[in-house]
Amino acid sequence: MNGSSSTRGPLRVTDLIERHNAGATVVCRTQFDILPVDFAHRTNPFKAYIFLCQYSGAVDGVDYTFRKCYARGCPHNLCPHVSQAVLIANRYLQRDYHRLEAAGIAVEKKLFSLEEMVLKFDRQQDADDPAMALYDYVQLARDGQEIVIRPNLDFVSAVEHFDRFENKMTFLMADFAVTCQGKTHHLERCLACYPVDNEAEERQAKIELANARLDMLYQDLESAGGKAEKAFF
Q: Residue 124's pLDDT is what?
A: 44
Q: Residue 78's pLDDT is what?
A: 59
- Considering only 16-25, 26-35, 82-91, 153-162, which range has the smallest mean pLDDT? 82-91
Write the pLDDT tens digit of every residue in 152-201: 999 999 999 987 889 999 999 999 999 998 899 999 999 999 999 999 99
Which comes out higher in pLDDT, residue 34 or 30?
Answer: 30
Q: Is residue 137, in this structure, part of any structural domain at all?
A: yes
Residue 144, by phi and psi: left (phi above 0), alpha (psi -120 to 50) or beta? Answer: left
- Residue 176 CA to residue 159 CA, distance in Å, equals 23
Write the pLDDT tens digit of every residue in 82-120: 878 888 999 999 999 999 999 999 999 999 986 655 555
CB atoms within 10 A of CB 233: 17
Q: 16 and 51 in one domain?
A: yes
Q: Residue 42's pLDDT is what?
A: 64
- Residue 90 CA to residue 175 CA, distance in Å, equals 19
- Does residue 127 have a pLDDT over 50? no
How many independent structural domains does the chain possess?
A: 2
The stretch 35-57 carries a mean pLDDT of: 88
Helix or strand holding residue 52 (H, E): strand 46-59
Residue at a domain's end among 93, 126, 159: 126
Write the pLDDT tens digit of every residue in 135-148: 999 999 999 999 99
**Average per-residue pLDDT in the chain?**
89
Residue at a domain's end among 103, 126, 149: 126
Strands 183-195 and 166-180: antiparallel
Full domain range(s) for residue 220: 132-233
Q: 117 and 21 in one domain?
A: yes
User: Residue 51's pLDDT band (boundaries 50, 70, 90)?
Assistant: very high
- Residue 1 CA to residue 8 CA, distance in Å, equals 9
Q: Residue 45's pLDDT is what?
A: 83
Question: What is the chain's alpha carbon radius of gyration, rounded to the nearest angstrom?
Answer: 18
Q: Do 112 and 70 form a contact (C-beta atoms < 8 A)?
A: yes
Q: Do 50 and 68 form a contact (C-beta atoms < 8 A)?
A: no
Q: Residue 164's pLDDT is what?
A: 81
Q: Residue 90's pLDDT is what?
A: 94
Q: Is residue 2, in this structure, part of any structural domain at all?
A: no
CA–CA distances in Å: residue 217 to residues 133, 159, 225, 229: 12, 28, 12, 11
- Residue 82 CA to residue 164 CA, distance in Å, equals 23
Q: Do 190 and 172 form a contact (C-beta atoms < 8 A)?
A: yes
Q: Do 53 and 31 form a contact (C-beta atoms < 8 A)?
A: yes
Q: Is residue 92, in this structure, part of any structural domain at all?
A: yes
Q: 225 and 142 in one domain?
A: yes
Q: Residue 100's pLDDT is what?
A: 98
